[in-house]
Structure 1
Amino acid sequence: MSTDQNATQSAGAAGDDLVGRRAALAAAEPGLRVRDQAGRLGVSEGELVASAVGRDGADGARVVWLDADIGDLIRAIETLGPVMALTRNDHAVHEIVGTYGNVKLGAHAGLVINKPIDLRLFLKRWHAALAVEEARGDTVLRSLQFFDIHGLAMHKIYLRPDSDRAAYDALIAANRGAVQQAPAFEPAPTPEPVAATAPEGFDADAFLTDWSHLADTHDFLPLLNRHNLSRPAALALADGRFARKLGDGAFRAALEAAARDQVKIMIFVPNPGCIQISGGTINRVEPRGPWINILDPGFNLHVREDHIAAAWQVDKPTVDGTVTAVELYDDRGELFLIMVGVRETGVPELPEWRALVHALPGSAA
């Protein structure tokens, strides 16, 4: 038997074992989400979903590996009509209904801007594309799911009742891999904590002077890169001038105030391969367990409040005046959500948004 045949058999046996363990877990804890199942089973979400490629998995899941250029798939999503776009990280889930269109893909980044769909794509991080069909109660969910090399979900696209099912079936048929086998994933490296303070001898005055000369919010990341400084360290240096640490519950208070006063807001949820953005008024803000949620028709946001290690008000000068943001960080110092007032280029930010943020409680620490 050849080495390739041995490897294929080994991978198949491993897949069979994972499918079996997932089925047992699903039976023991019905309703457990795939991401949580993966955590319980000690594998990545991508590896768990892909284990059903070429076979029926737990909960009736049927998965097809798509052997296609990721960019071509993204361009083709427009044919499906209205869909639900989902982007998440470990702490926040952003879901919005709309139709893909106006896709622009470059060498380093891409855009999908067909409001309300608003995405920034970093496709070099995307590794595998899977078409997933799974039973959820009496319904069948059909989706396209994209993962990085470590099995981390980059983006998901779910069909809606008014989506074009024939176009979806045609897309899968046209891009189905000739040999249906699970794509390979690699173990993720252990994440390092983000530096919370500037290095010894750092020129804080020069950094803050450069901050004061920002002309656009998009200049902020290049500013950090030029000074080789992390976001948490930058905020610590700017505290009292361009930044203010917010108190516990400030994010929920901001959502509730925005809903009550109908202040138009934008919410950005990033992961390494995608940033998903929403813009407009919100209405229904509701806590459920550890989650604080926006539950509006066509737009849902879910944030683990207990994962907010730090919330900051961050002020960035621009040619149109100061842009005020609320930024959320986890216990490793990673940014996982940004909220700002709706603003068009060339127009100052909404004064009611600025007043809302300035009224949020500050940290007692």
Structure 2
Amino acid sequence: MPSPSELTPRSTDSIAGEFARLRREKKARHRDIATELNISEGELIAAHAGLSLADGALLGAERLQADWPAIIAALEPLGEVMALTRNVSCVHEKTGVYRNASHNHHVGLVLGGDIDLRVFYRQWVHGFAVSELTEKVGDKEVQRSLQFFDAAGHAVHKIFLKPQSDLAAYEALVTRFADDDQEPGIAVTAPAPAPVELPDAQIDVAGFRAAWADLRDTHEFFTLLKKYSVSRLQGLRLAEARFVQQLDKACVLDLLNDAARENVSIMAFVGNAGMIQIHSGPVQKIAVMGPWINILDARFNLHLREDHVASAWVVRKPTVDGLVTSVELFDEKGDTIVMFFGERKPGAHELCEWRNIVEKAQQEYELCAA
């Protein structure tokens, strides 16, 4: 499949001009503008490389060196910022400080408490420091961010400055990591095709089920799937019923409302090929706006397209600390949208209150299906 830019070639000047028009006329978001222009979001931002707000541009971008682990490790002096990771169906926004960043080859961690990330740097190809003139209650202000994209121009992670962020530290970071090449535009490649799922008949189901029962840590699950050559969703279909049950795909609203009402701390995992972002803690304000289910708390926002959910599952994994229960949502392609757990640390048992919420959802599904 050709990339959007191969379908409709556009000059960077044309992209920048159309962006300014659509931003002013429709107040459209970057992702929506890129879709309307038939380009990737990365191409949209890259078209503004070399432009400056001081010269009257609505958006300016400065290309960054591809030293991604060093950039992430240098973020702590910025203080509190907002981390944003999304996929097609879910957006995860968390305010905090990037502390305790580390990496081993192409895999990184940020374990700063509020900012909890698993980073897959092989997917990171383009990065920009972005300044945009926005309007808020009639006043113009500058929104500054760092934005990172994969080879296809899809966003893998964004970092937005907050009013309490250290602007001088941000500017020093941009100066330190600015690339020598500030020409507008990027070359993008078509996304890699999804792996072809093996037929169930070719899977060693008995071995897979036995290995599942022998799990001792949730982090072993990915290795288990890889060993038996099954996709995550296929693995759930083939698992023993004692470990996996299907739920009503509309279960998530009740699940979140129950967690908020009972003040149960949860974990919410949202990711894409280049990043997994995690929230741990209670949730409070749950709101439905059109097709979106939203968590709208002071330091954590989640926006979920409920109409994109094709299936929902309760998943239980054995560990040395007992069973760990998750609720996992998938889209029609079989891609993971979001995963919810009860908050826990290694060495601690799962919250009984979380199990009760999940079991309630499961019982309601079984009653409706009966």
TM-score (normalizing by structure 1): 0.91
Report the CA distance shift for 1:59/1:330 in structure 2 as closer, same or farther (over 3 A).
farther
Report the CA distance shift for 1:303/1:239 in structure 2 as closer, same or farther (over 3 A).
farther
Alignment deviations for residues 318-342 of structure 1 (CA, whole Å, 9 cap, x no partner): 1111100000101100112111001
Please give the alpha-carbon distance, in whole angstroms, between the structure 1 residues aligned to 2:52 and 2:212: 55
Please give the alpha-carbon distance, in whole angstroms, between the structure 2 residues aligned to 1:159 and 1:70: 18
Which stretch shifts more, 63-72 or 292-301? 63-72
Give the counterpart of 1:23 among 11, 17, 20: 20
SS state at 2:333 partner: coil
Residue aligning to 2:32:
36
What is the CA-CA distance between 1:18 and the residue it aligns to?
1.7
Paired residues of 1:193 and 1:333 also in contact (CA < 8 A): no
Paired residues of 2:203 and 2:230 also in contact (CA < 8 A): no
Please give the alpha-carbon distance, in whole angstroms, between the structure 2 residues aligned to 1:216 and 1:190: 30
Paired residues of 1:125 and 1:273 also in contact (CA < 8 A): yes
Please give the alpha-carbon distance, in whole angstroms, between the structure 2 residues aligned to 1:345 and 1:240: 25
| Structure 1 position 110 matched with structure 2 position 108 | yes
Paired residues of 1:193 and 1:332 also in contact (CA < 8 A): no
What is the CA-CA distance between 1:27 and the residue it aligns to?
4.3
Residue aligning to 2:128:
130
Report matched runs for 1:185-334 at 5 Å: 185-189=187-191, 191-192=193-194, 195=197, 198-238=199-239, 240-334=241-335
Return the letter of the residue paired with 1:122: F
Paired residues of 1:122 and 1:272 also in contact (CA < 8 A): yes
Residue aligning to 2:50:
54
Please give the alpha-carbon distance, in whole angstroms, between the structure 2 residues aligned to 1:282 and 1:152: 29
Please give the alpha-carbon distance, in whole angstroms, between the structure 2 residues aligned to 1:185 and 1:214: 43
Please give the alpha-carbon distance, in whole angstroms, between the structure 2 residues aligned to 1:253 and 1:339: 13
Please give the alpha-carbon distance, in whole angstroms, between the structure 2 residues aligned to 1:263 and 1:198: 40
Question: Percent same amino acid at aligned positions?
Answer: 44
Residue aligning to 2:360:
359
Alignment deviations for residues 156-186 of structure 1 (CA, whole Å, 9 cap, x no partner): 1111111111111121222222331135232
Report the CA distance shift for 1:59/1:322 in structure 2 as closer, same or farther (over 3 A).
farther
SS state at 2:365 partner: coil
Residue aligning to 1:172:
174
What is the CA-CA distance between 1:255 and the residue it aligns to?
0.5
Return the letter of the residue paired with 1:145: Q
Give the counterpart of 1:153 among 128, 152, 155: 155
Paired residues of 1:26 and 1:32 also in contact (CA < 8 A): yes
Paired residues of 1:194 and 1:334 also in contact (CA < 8 A): no
Report the CA distance shift for 1:200/1:13 in structure 2 as closer, same or farther (over 3 A).
closer
Which stretch shifts more, 273-282 or 180-189? 180-189
SS state at 1:64 partner: strand
Alignment deviations for residues 79-111 of structure 1 (CA, whole Å, 9 cap, x no partner): 111111111111111111111111111113111
Q: Which runs of 5+ in 2 are unaligned?
A: 1-8
**How many residue pairs end up in the alignment?**
352
Residue aligning to 2:96:
98
Please give the alpha-carbon distance, in whole angstroms, between the structure 1 residues aligned to 2:262 and 2:199: 39
Return the letter of the residue paired with 2:82: M
What is the CA-CA distance between 1:73 and the residue it aligns to?
1.0
What is the CA-CA distance between 1:198 and the residue it aligns to?
4.4
Residue aligning to 2:3:
none
Return the letter of the residue paired with 2:23: A
Residue aligning to 1:9:
none
Report the CA distance shift for 1:102/1:247 in structure 2 as closer, same or farther (over 3 A).
same
Report the CA distance shift for 1:250/1:194 in structure 2 as closer, same or farther (over 3 A).
farther
Please give the alpha-carbon distance, in whole angstroms, between the structure 2 residues aligned to 1:37 and 1:194: 32
SS state at 1:19 partner: helix
Paired residues of 2:66 and 2:125 also in contact (CA < 8 A): no
Which stretch shifts more, 170-179 or 84-93? 170-179
Paired residues of 2:85 and 2:270 also in contact (CA < 8 A): yes
Report the CA distance shift for 1:346/1:116 in structure 2 as closer, same or farther (over 3 A).
same
Report the CA distance shift for 1:144/1:204 in structure 2 as closer, same or farther (over 3 A).
same
Return the letter of the residue paired with 2:41: E
SS state at 1:257 partner: helix
What is the CA-CA distance between 1:348 and the residue it aligns to?
1.1
| Runs of 4+ deviating beyond 4 Å | 56-59
Please give the alpha-carbon distance, in whole angstroms, between the structure 1 residues aligned to 2:23 and 2:114: 35
Residue aligning to 2:6:
none
Please give the alpha-carbon distance, in whole angstroms, between the structure 2 residues aligned to 1:95 and 1:142: 16
Report the CA distance shift for 1:13/1:256 in structure 2 as closer, same or farther (over 3 A).
closer
